[in-house]
Amino acid sequence: MKLTSNLSVAEVTKSATAIRRGIGNMPSATHLIALKAVAEHIFQPCRNYFGKPLAITSGYRSEELNELIGGSKTSQHSKGEALDLDADVYGGFSNAELFYYIKKNLDFDQLIWEFGNSNNPSWVHCSYKTRGNRNEVLIAIKTKGITTYTKL
Q: What are the mean pLDDT values of the chain's consecutive 10-residue runs (152 residues total)? A: 96 94 94 98 98 96 92 93 96 96 98 96 97 96 88 90
Domain count, the chain: 1
Provide the whole-model pTM: 0.93
Range of the domain at 88: 2-151
pLDDT (0 to 100) of residue 45: 98
DSSP for 100-137, please give it. HHHHHH---SEEEEESS-SS--SEEEEE--SS----EE
pLDDT (0 to 100) of residue 100: 98
Q: Domain containing 75 — which CATH number?
A: 3.30.1380.10
| Residue 89 φ then ψ, to 5° | -60, -45
